[in-house]
Amino acid sequence: MTLFSLAWKNIIRDTKTYIYYFANCVFSVFIFFLFIALAGHPVFKVIDVNSAMWYILVAAQLISVCFSLFFITYSVKNFSKARGKQFGIIVIHGGTKKQLNQLIFYENIVIGLGSIIFGILIGMLFFKIFSSAAERVISGVELNFYFPVKAIIMTIIIMGVVFLLISVIAPRLIRKSKVVQLIKVEEMAETMPKRIGMYAVFVISTAAIIVGLFATKYEDIVSFFLLPVGVVAVASFMCIVVYEGIRFYIFVSKSKGSYYQGTRLLLMSNFISKIHSNLQLITISAVLYGITFLSVILMVSSTEHVEELVRKQCPSAYLYTSWDESADTEGNVELIRKTIQDEPGYKEIKMQFWTNDPESNYGSMIMPVSMYNQIAQFLKYPNVRLQGEEALVAAGEVKQKNLEIPDVYQELCGQQGYQLKKTGTQQNLIWLSGYLSETTVVSDEVFQKIEDQLAVKEFYAFDVNNWTSLKDKTHDLYQYFLPLRDKQQATFISDYTYYESDRLEKDLILYIGSILCFSFLLGITSFIYSRLYSTMEKECNYYKNIVKIGLSKKELSKIINRNIGILMWVPFVLGLLFLWGGILVIDRSSVISNLSTGVICTVIYGVGQALMVLVVNKMYKKKIMEGVYETSI
């Protein structure tokens, strides 16, 4: 018998112990394979390497690998912990650290190889189903079946490296100095975590975020690290909240005496005896819940509001302006008119903007209120009344801050004896976001005095009701105007172009994000399962002894209900807090509001979680009762 055959026998002859860990590994490979097979589909070959779509596909694979690494390492850590006694037996009979490392390495490599094979096979089986789902979610994409040779090779290589890493890390997760002592005791008692550690992590990570937010000079580097550091800060905060909450509860109930009444003593002492694993479980679950909940809401919300978002950024379906005198403005406008004039709700407007810089087609603009009101009518904004020195500043881009009258126009008007006073601002855009800076609207009286010192720029806007379905007409117009844009003669902008690419991006994010969120939720289920079922035998023995000294079935049921309640509701509620904190922060800078989607999703999450708690509680209680009373219930 060799160490490898010992490892092999351990796996083959104790499938009940290894199957859960194996299932986690297969699932991780399966998810990664799905992403890489999708990314490698011939239909995505046309994607630019530096485009948002490409980044989304790469990010999905990266997140999948990182999550797999974390998920499997956590599983293997718990799994190794449960086998401590076996390792102790090997050590006391003369196994060296190296031999123990080798044994664990072999086991993980065997499981890793098996997972890769099964993960790919299952991935191939389900790829067609997931491709069909992707076609439904990602509008305008046809994912015909293809044999993903490259995806198979990449999965074998990348997940192979992951499992190799885990096989090397796994032995280091076991404290060998303590392993030999596990022969004498069933398990090492969990010590209370050091508060200073938790607080230190929280303070350092929060400080790093604050410093990062002010370090605008290194924005690119900082933004890369902000998210993971943010997750660490939030996780440590949750850990502190739960830990201090428990300590506070015990302190209060002990001082009142209620700690010693009923089943509280049993519940809390049992919870504290596993404080380390419980805290770990609650914190990881809370973070995953929070990320999943927030991601789902943002993805659903942005997919639902693509049209609205596009219109907020570009308020008319089609925009045209000539940049150069050589452009055939009339002919170009006539072409656009002829192409779409028969569409329902067709309307057009010729907008005039004035600027002090005749060479520029961009920058700060000014216009009389009569022109503004024409545009307002076209765009269905409220009309504005301006008299004398009153002025309105209209934003040039979405959520533009600090809208003020530019100095150049203040001086221009000042030369005519007018001191402009800003009486209001308008956040709704009148042209494509970011194309122009702010537009100052003044009274007709003031404008007449300064008009001869300004150069006029003409912009044409067209609108139809059904712009989201004019793919072919828009495409034809775009192809016609592309050479003119390249020659810097004119520009043609369509809502449909932005809508199409935004739609595709958000649908892709929705599809990929849903799978990732599902993985995270499955990860939470796996962690809870691991925590409950790996200690089930010990819990049964524990309660069996207490039943002998007078614990009733009803009281035992109460303890189980409360234990499951703490383990499942606490991280859920913390996750919801994270979710709502995130929504409130994001809504401040977001074009669309996520509040309504947030409320609906919170209700759905709550109902789903309540069902899950009911099911888990029922199943777990049944097993415990059977184990304690050794009868089928």
Partner 1 sequence: MKVLSIKGLEKTYDGKVPVRALRGINLEVERGEMIAIMGPSGSGKSTFLNVISTIDKPTRGRVRIGGKNPHEMNDEQLASFRRNTLGFVFQNFNLLPTLTVEENIMLPMTLEKVPVGEMKQRTVEIAKLLGIGKLLKKRTYEISGGQAQRTAVARAVVQDPALLLADEPTGNLDSKAAKDVMELFGMLNKKKKTTVLMVTHDALVASYCQKVYIIKDGMIYQEIVREGDALEFQEEILNAMTLLGGGRHDTV
Using CB under 8 A, list all residues that contact partner 1: 1-3, 6, 9-10, 13-14, 85-86, 89-99, 180-181, 183-184
CA-wise closest residue to 378 among 434, 319, 328:
319
Minimum CB distance to partner 1 smaller for 182 or for 442:
182
Minimum CB distance to partner 1 smaller for 185 or for 213:
185
Taking the CA atoms of 373, 377, 378 and 381 in sequence, report the sign of the dihedral they define. Answer: positive
Minimum CB distance to partner 1 smaller for 9 or for 276:
9
Minimum CB distance to partner 1 smaller for 13 or for 471:
13
Please report, as a single letter, which amino acid is at residue 563.
Answer: N
Minimum CB distance to partner 1 smaller for 90 or for 282:
90
Minimum CB distance to partner 1 smaller for 6 or for 573:
6
- State in angstroms the smallest separation of the CB of 607 from partner 1: 43
- State in angstroms the smallest separation of the CB of 177 from partner 1: 10
- State in angstroms the smallest separation of the CB of 540 from partner 1: 17
Largest CA distance in the chain: 102
Q: How many residues does the chain have?
A: 633
- Start-to-end C-alpha separation, the chain: 44
- State in angstroms the smallest separation of the CB of 182 from partner 1: 10
- State in angstroms the smallest separation of the CB of 14 from partner 1: 5
- State in angstroms the smallest separation of the CB of 50 from partner 1: 52
Rounded (5°) CA angle 324-327-329: 115
**Pairwise CA distance, residues 135 & 504, whole Å:** 11
Minimum CB distance to partner 1 smaller for 98 or for 350:
98
Minimum CB distance to partner 1 smaller for 6 or for 408:
6
- State in angstroms the smallest separation of the CB of 178 from partner 1: 11
Minimum CB distance to partner 1 smaller for 105 or for 578:
105
Minimum CB distance to partner 1 smaller for 96 or for 488:
96
SS3 string, 483-499, reads: HHHHCCCEEEEEHHHHH
Minimum CB distance to partner 1 smaller for 181 or for 410:
181
Find out whether 92 and 183 touch, Cβ atoms under 8 Å.
yes
**Pairwise CA distance, residues 436 & 361, whole Å:** 8
- State in angstroms the smallest separation of the CB of 90 from partner 1: 7
State how far the alpha carbon of 77 is from the alpha carbons of 7, 23, 106, in Å: 17, 15, 16
Rg (CA), the chain: 32
- State in angstroms the smallest separation of the CB of 18 from partner 1: 10
Find out whether 583 and 600 touch, Cβ atoms under 8 Å.
no
Find out whether 453 and 422 touch, Cβ atoms under 8 Å.
no
Question: Who's near 234: CB < 8 A, 6+ residues apart?
Answer: 287, 290, 578
CA atoms within 13 A on the CB side of 126: 16
Task: Give me 432's structure tokens.
Answer: 């494509």
Find out whether 287 and 582 touch, Cβ atoms under 8 Å.
no
**Any idea which residue has 């050794």 for tokens?**
630
- State in angstroms the smallest separation of the CB of 121 from partner 1: 26
CA-wise closest residue to 400 among 437, 372, 430, 357:
437
- State in angstroms the smallest separation of the CB of 299 from partner 1: 45
Task: Report the helix count and the strand count for the chain, using DSSP H and E.
Answer: 21, 8
Find out whether 36 and 155 touch, Cβ atoms under 8 Å.
yes
- State in angstroms the smallest separation of the CB of 86 from partner 1: 6
Strand partners, 458: 352
Minimum CB distance to partner 1 smaller for 7 or for 56:
7
Q: What is the number of other CB atoms lying within 10 angstroms of the CB of residue 35? A: 26
- State in angstroms the smallest separation of the CB of 169 from partner 1: 20
Q: What is the number of other CB atoms lying within 10 angstroms of the CB of residue 537? A: 12
**Pairwise CA distance, residues 219 & 226, whole Å:** 10
According to DSSP, residue 362 is labeled S
Find out whether 52 and 27 touch, Cβ atoms under 8 Å.
no
Minimum CB distance to partner 1 smaller for 105 or for 447:
105
Q: Is 146 helix (H, G, I), strand (E, B) or coil?
A: coil
